[in-house]
Amino acid sequence: MADKKPLIEVKDLKEYFYINTGLFSSKPLKAVDGVSFSINKGETLGLVGESGCGKTTVGRTLLHLYKPTSGEIWYDGKQIKTRSDIKEFRKKATMVFQDPYSSLNPRMTVSDIIGEPLDVHKLCASKQERQDRILELMGYVGLNSEHAARYAHEFSGGQRQRIGIARSLAVNPDFIVCDEPVSALDVSIQAQVINMFDELQEKLGLTYLFVAHDLLVVRHISDRIAVMYLGKMVELAPAKEIYDKPLHPYSKSLLSAVPVPDPKVARANKRIVLTGDIPSPLNAPSGCPFRTRCKYATDKCAEEMPEFKEVSKGRFVACHRVGDIN
């Protein structure tokens, strides 16, 4: 189980992409806009929200695959700033990508795909040591030694994702960003891969940022859950609390859509359907980004962005009316 020391701390992270809107004019698309959170050692933080809310961008910016527009990223008490910081950080933090079809090089064998991080970071002294390490990594994810000489296109989606997970483990990381790692897989395979993430976490002491839009998957694997909407974080709480009693109107709507296996409970549950479309991040509403779809919105919501504040121990919400509506 997670200890209480933060491994990753993110403070006021912003990632803006400038979009050309005319001949000499551009406008910032605020993909991530002032997000702050921490992840303790050995913990899994689930990051949820609908498509386009900035979940994946948070993960990629955290690993400096995108250069942050502003904000601070701390790893194990040290701020990641310089190029050498990033290089060292990349030995301790890796990523499992969403699409197992496009994230693996079709011209490389499984052995070369998994061994590439070992070569880049010069982690093996001899060819034999490299080969032994590759076979060890393949064993972790349930692949056989005879798979090593084959190519990615010869495998099913679930097996390809296992290859991607083995590659992410090659540098012996402490922290892994899992970017919707099961969304491209069959439901029957999803459970196997999720269980494997759990087993690897226990065995290797890993810390995860688990990005997903499937709330049942997130509930199964996460210790805490953060909800994002239009580049902002709107709620952060322990997984059980957020499922039992979501506080933010957007979290309530999101969780009301989760299917319940018991027909009686499902019939009793009231689905909260949001009106209107999600606004464009290029033209985000003033004040609270959710106000255009929120039935509790007041004039104050249009005037100022609510502060992302702690309302009870370990529970953060960004809503002016959180006290009135719960």
Over the stretch 191-236, which tens digit does the pLDDT of each residue have?
Answer: 899 999 999 999 999 999 999 988 888 988 999 999 999 999 999 9
What was the pLDDT predicted at 3?
55
Q: H helices of the chain, where?
A: 55-62, 83-92, 110-120, 127-140, 157-169, 187-204, 215-221, 239-244, 249-256, 263-268, 299-303, 322-325
Question: Cα(14)–Cα(70) distance, rounded to whole angstroms?
Answer: 5
Question: Do residues 234 and 318 lie in contact, with contact meaning Cβ atoms separated by under 8 Å?
Answer: yes
Six-digit token pair at 326? Answer: 């719960």
pLDDT, one tens digit for every residue, the chain (326 residues):
445 789 999 999 999 999 998 888 899 999 999 999 999 999 999 999 988 899 999 999 999 999 999 999 999 999 999 999 999 999 999 999 988 888 999 999 999 999 999 999 999 999 999 999 999 999 999 999 999 999 999 999 999 999 999 999 999 999 999 999 998 888 888 889 999 999 999 999 999 999 998 888 898 899 999 999 999 999 999 999 999 899 999 999 988 887 777 787 777 777 888 887 788 888 888 999 999 999 999 999 999 999 999 999 989 999 999 988 88
Q: Which tokens go with 240?
A: 């059980």
Residue with tokens 């002016």: 320
* pLDDT given for residue 217 in this prediction: 87
Pairing of strands 44-48, 224-229: parallel
Q: How far is CA 224 from CA 160, 166, 221, 240, 254, in A?
A: 28, 25, 9, 8, 16
User: What Cα–Cα distance (Å) separates residue 52 from each residue in 99, 111, 230, 278?
Assistant: 17, 35, 7, 9
Q: Phi and psi of 182, rounded to 5°?
A: -115, 0
**109 vs 152: CA distance, rounded Å:** 7
Full DSSP string of 272-288: -PPPSPPPPGGGPPSSS
pLDDT at residue 86, rounded to an integer: 94
- The tokens describing 79, both together, are 């701020």
